Every structure is written in C-alpha cells, then in structure tokens.
Amino acid sequence: MQSMENYRGREEIVYQVYPKSFCDSDGDDIGDLKGITEKLGYLKDLGITMLWICPVYASPMDDNGYDISDYYSMNPMFGTMDEMEQLIHEAGRKGIKIMMDLVLNHTSDEHEWFRKALADPQSKYRDYYIFETLQNGCPPSNLRSVFGGSVWEPVPGTDEYYFHSFSKKQPDLNWENKEMRSELYEMIRWWMNKGIAGFRVDAINFIKKDLNASVIKPDGKDGLASCFPYTRNVEGIQKFLKEMRKEVFEPCGCITVSEAVDVPYSELGNYIGDQGCFSMMFDFHYTNFDLEGNDEKWHKRKDWTMEEFRELLFESQEEIQKTGWQGLFIENHDQPRAVNKFFPFKEDQTYEASTVLAGMYFFLRGTPFIYQGQELGVKNVWRDSIESFDDIESRGQYETALSDGCTKEEALYYINLRSRDNARQMIDWEEAGRQENDKKSVLSFYKEMTALRKRESCLVQGSFKPHREYGKDVVAYERNDGFTRILVLCNFSKIRQEIKNVDGKILLSNQPVIQGFLEPFQVIVIKK
Ligand code: TEU
C-alpha cells in the first residue's frame, strides 16, 4: 500500500517571529509587518527557509493576538493587508516561505460570531460557542481555565454561562457544529490562496471537550480543578482532525505543525504520520522539565537534572520516530529564554551555554525552529512588580500562586522564572549588528548550524539513536541515513569529560577541539 505519510516541511529551517517585539519600522516601539519585511535579508543570511509569524490578525490583544476578532483582516497595530501581501511576496523572492498562526480553538469575544451569539440567543451563531445554564445557582463546573479563574463566564443579565479554556475574552468555539467548522476551513483556503505555505496550528488538542462532570475534586485552594483532563486530548478528537486533513490541509498542500501539549505517545498517530492530520508536531514532553506535575502551575517547581531532561528528550525522539515527524524547539513565545531555564546561575549564562544548547537540539530528528532572539543568546529580563507584566498568563499564575499560599515575594519570583514576557522583549538590533561582525558570536554559530544542516542530508533524513555511554551530563546522539553517520556530543557539565573511541571529521564545534575530551559546555558534531 502506498504510504500516505505527509513529508512536507522536513527540509525547512523555521524562524518564529513574535511581531510585536521583532522589528519596529515606524518608530512607535511596536514591531510591525514592514519591520519583518525589512529584516528578510538578515533572516536569509541566518539561513532560514520559512517564517512562522505569530498572530497578526485583528484583535483586541487580550492575549496578544491569540484572541482573534477577524481572521480576514490585519491588526492595524501591525499594518495592513497590503503590507502582509508584500511580506509574503518579498519573502517568496528570497526563497522564504510563510507560515501563519492558526487559532481554531477559540476567537475573541469581539469576533462578529460571538457578538451575534450574545445579541440573539436564537441566532445560528449561538451554537458556534459553548453556552450552559446555571446549575442550582452555581456555574456548570469548577474547572480552572489555563490563565486562572473559572472556565465559565456569566453572560450578564441571564442565568447562562459561556465556556473558555483560556481567558474570558477567548470563548471556545463549538467544534461539534459542522457549519462553524466549514467556515473555518473556508478561511484556511482563503489564506492559502494568498501564497502562504501553511500554518502553525494553535492549541489544537483543545478542540474536543468533555464537559459533563460538574463537581471535580479541587487541586488548589481556589476550589477549582485543572481543566486539562476535560479539555485537552479528549477522546473523539480524531474525527475533527481527520476531517480537517481531508477538507483542507491535504487538498491545499499545507505544511502544518500542531501545537498540542501533553498528547500521550500512544495517540501520536492522530497528529502525525500516515493517518495524522499534520506534517509535524511540537512535542512538549521535554519542555516543562522544570515544573512538577502536569497542571502547569509555575510555582510548583521541580529539582531536575540534565540526565532526567536527556531521557525525556531521547524518549520524545524515539517515540516520534516510530510515527512521524516533529518540530524541534528549545524556545517559543510561551517559554522563558532557554539559557536561563537550563542554566539558572548567571555566571553560567555564556556564549558556550547558548551554543551547547543550540547544538543539542538543532541536529535532532525533526525540523528545527529558532525563536526570535534565540540566535543572539537573549536572556530573561527580571521584573520587580507584578504590574510590570503584560502577559495575561503571568498575572493569572501570580493569583493562583498567592491563593495556593505563596507570599507575594515568592509568587513574583516564580512568575519571573516562567513569564512569557521573558520571550517577548523587543529585539536589540544593535546587538544583532554587533554579532554579525563577530565570528565568535552566538549568531555566527547559528549560521554555521543552518549551513551544516543544509549541506548534510543525513541531518534531515537520518534516523536517531541515543548514546548514553559518555556520562550522565553528556547529551549525545547519532544520526544515520545508511550512508553517513553523524555524532553530536554536548557536555552540560562544568567539568571536562573524557570521550573514548571518538574519531572522524569534525563538522562543527563551539570551542577548540582537544582530542579525546569535551570541554565544559562544549558541543562537537563529528562525521564518522
Ligand atoms: O498555547 C496553548 C497552551 O497550551 C498554553 O497552555 C501554553 O502552553 C502556555 O501558555 C505556556 O505557558 C497557545 C499559544 O501558544 C499561547 O500563546 C496562547 O496564549 C494560547 O494558545 C491561547 O491561544
């Protein structure tokens, strides 16, 4: 039988742009579409082949654009549709594809559909969302939304509630409604016709819900329980994923990457591979290694070791290899800067630290994604008061931490470690210019990595095999395409490590190579 597997996007090297803080072209201190177009030369030099642009659609910006009020128009803060088309065109001329962010689980409460649903309970739009009536004077259940507080929001002047997994300004769409689904598919086709290559698909494992339970054992002092078991990876989701592939992604030839947190490895087949909906997925099993449990409370920190992290990473590689393909990342707009996450002590946050992390993930089996600023070794920015956070999740997590018994100081400390604002600082283009002229900069190292991945097809095609024999602080793996073997060795210890029986041609290193040893924080890529 001919394989139906979707191989699209495997050779790409993707760069993620968070438009608000990427490049400001008109001096209002807010990044914009023209700013992205201006930086296409920089991106081309970096060696990337595709851009993922976080939401730039019309939005009241309650969740920085993940609350869309009109899928068909641009947020004036970022520019016009003409400028978007210009960006797609100019990028295409440089051989750079565009991937838009596709938010299908929810809209803004200011979307026309939701306004109509509220204005007229008899309108067809009512069923585009999830409404429930009060039960014995209480909200329909005690689930906690991702950003804190109840998932149920009262509709003023009625005894009804509407459901939201994220903020109350992000009502969830009702995927059980076929007409609503068709309207979304129409919108996807419309965007593909603009000449984009595909989509990063937001929070897609939330589209099926199980909202029957009303009283659930609370997991916090707020009396609420995590919504995840009832809103994420719920049985029955495969029907929607299959339909979406058949109706739009397959016929339109989209390159797609799904954001789907905590999908059990046994269910990967719904997302990737022969029968899966997407070209690839982000796997988050190795992302929240610094947090306890899977309710994703930022104040529930965990003592972790590099060895534990390595095992999570290896497991992810081996599991996904059995089924399909993944998008590789160590940062994104929801995560703190990797160098802070992996190296908590300031004195360790060096060029070597940024580049050993880079080498560790970039050559794994999958399509590498670089988050803006990562290629410059950008670090977190500490904030002294909760008022200085812009991110809605940071504020929600702060409240949850306080209600779980943290002091204000403790709560602030935990929020600083994890806040999404860390990744949303304006890019410092003077620093980028400095690094462009410095051969030993993080940026130069990233350029070497992109060039190497393009040169060695084994780094795209090769299978993945873990190596544990070099010690617990060494992340080592091999790629093998049947012709070539490439070994990647990364020392995360501050102590020099002996490496026996390793020879071959050195393709890349972030430090001078001493035969038989790995220096602290050294990465070496060797062709056997
Ligand atoms: O995130 C979805 C998601 O699962 C979040 O729980 C995410 O993991 C969390 O914010 C990490 O701290 C997506 C987007 O990436 C995020 O920016 C949006 O806020 C969210 O969807 C709602 O659209």
The whole model's pTM is what? 0.97
Ligand 1 atom with least separation from CA of 165? 22
Q: Annotated catalytic, 235?
A: no
Measured by CA distance, the residue closest to atom 1 of ligand 1 is 203
Q: Is 57 exposed, middle or buried (0-12, 13-18, 19+ CB in 10 A)?
A: buried
Q: Which pLDDT value is given to residue 394?
A: 97
Q: C-alpha distances in angstroms, 322 versus 103, 137, 232, 316, 325? A: 28, 50, 23, 10, 9
Looking at residue 484, its amino acid is T
Pocket lining: 487 vs ligand 1, CB cutoff 6 Å = no
Query: Counting runs of H as helices and runs of E as strands, what totals does the chain give?
Result: 16, 22
Ligand 1: distance of its center to the CA of 334 in Å? 6
Ligand 1 atom with least separation from CA of 67? 23
Distance CA 259, CA 414 (A): 24
**Radius of gyration of the chain from Cα atoms?**
23
Name every residue whose Cβ is closer than 8 Å to that of residue 419 and which is 6 or more positions away in sequence.
Answer: 336, 380, 383, 389, 391, 393, 394
Q: Which pLDDT value is given to residue 215?
A: 87
Pocket lining: 423 vs ligand 1, CB cutoff 6 Å = no
- In total, the chain counts a number of residues equal to 528
Pocket lining: 96 vs ligand 1, CB cutoff 6 Å = no
Tokens of 470: 């070099």
Distance CA 261, CA 257 (A): 12
Residue 258 parent element (H or E): strand 255-259
Ligand 1: distance of its center to the CA of 500 in Å? 43
The CATH class that applies to domain 14-104+179-383+424-462 reads: alpha beta
Give me the phi and psi of 42, to 5 degrees please. -60, -45
Query: H-type helices in 385-496, by residue range?
Result: 392-403, 408-418, 429-436, 442-455, 458-461
Ligand 1: distance of its center to the CA of 278 in Å? 18
Q: Which pLDDT value is given to residue 2?
A: 40
Name every residue whose Cβ is closer than 8 Å to that of residue 280 and which is 6 or more positions away in sequence.
Answer: 9, 10, 256, 257, 258, 272, 324, 325, 326, 327, 366, 367
> Taking the alpha carbons of 101, 106, 107, 108 in that order, is the dihedral positive or negative?
negative
Measured by CA distance, the residue closest to atom 3 of ligand 1 is 203
- List per-residue pLDDT tens for the chain, 528 residues long: 344 568 999 999 999 999 999 999 999 999 999 999 999 999 999 999 999 999 999 999 999 999 999 999 999 999 999 999 999 999 999 999 999 999 999 999 999 999 999 999 999 999 999 999 988 888 999 999 999 999 999 999 999 999 999 999 999 999 999 999 999 999 999 999 999 999 999 999 999 999 988 889 999 999 999 999 999 999 999 999 999 999 999 999 999 999 999 999 999 999 999 999 999 999 999 999 999 987 889 999 999 999 999 999 999 999 999 999 999 999 999 999 999 999 999 999 999 999 999 999 999 999 999 999 999 999 999 999 999 999 999 999 999 999 999 999 999 999 999 999 999 999 999 999 999 999 999 999 999 999 999 999 999 999 999 999 999 999 999 999 999 999 999 999 999 999 988 899 999 999 999 999 999 999 999 999
Measured by CA distance, the residue closest to atom 6 of ligand 1 is 146
**Residue from 63, 101, 172, 202 carrying the catalytic annotation:** 202
Answer yes or no: are the C-beta atoms of 31 and 425 closer than 8 Å.
no
Measured by CA distance, the residue closest to atom 14 of ligand 1 is 202
Ligand 1: distance of its center to the CA of 200 in Å? 12
Pairing of strands 225-226, 255-259: unpaired
Query: H-type helices in 293-382, by residue range?
Result: 306-323, 338-342, 351-362
Answer yes or no: are the C-beta atoms of 165 and 205 closer than 8 Å.
no
By three-state DSSP, how is residue 239 classified?
Answer: helix
Ligand 1 atom with least separation from CA of 420? 12
Per-domain boundaries in the chain: 14-104+179-383+424-462, 384-423
Pocket lining: 15 vs ligand 1, CB cutoff 6 Å = no
Tokens of 481: 């395409």
Pocket lining: 393 vs ligand 1, CB cutoff 6 Å = yes
Ligand 1: distance of its center to the CA of 517 in Å? 41
Q: Can you name the residues that pair with 57 across neighbouring β-strands?
A: 74
Q: Establish how many alpha carbons lie within 13 A of residue 124's alpha carbon, considering only the half-sphere containing its beta carbon.
A: 5
| SS percent in the chain: helix, strand, coil, step 5 | 35, 20, 45
Answer yes or no: are the C-beta atoms of 481 and 458 closer than 8 Å.
yes
Q: Which pLDDT value is given to residue 4?
A: 57
By three-state DSSP, how is residue 102 classified?
Answer: strand
Ligand 1: distance of its center to the CA of 393 in Å? 9
Q: Which pLDDT value is given to residue 449?
A: 98
Answer yes or no: are the C-beta atoms of 168 and 149 closer than 8 Å.
yes
Residue 103 parent element (H or E): strand 97-103
Pocket lining: 146 vs ligand 1, CB cutoff 6 Å = yes
Pocket lining: 18 vs ligand 1, CB cutoff 6 Å = no
Q: Annotated catalytic, 259?
A: yes
Query: H-type helices in 65-158, by residue range?
Result: 81-93, 112-119
Distance CA 164, CA 154 (A): 11
Answer yes or no: are the C-beta atoms of 447 and 376 closer than 8 Å.
no
Distance CA 442, CA 178 (A): 48
Distance CA 388, CA 395 (A): 10
Ligand 1: distance of its center to the CA of 335 in Å? 10
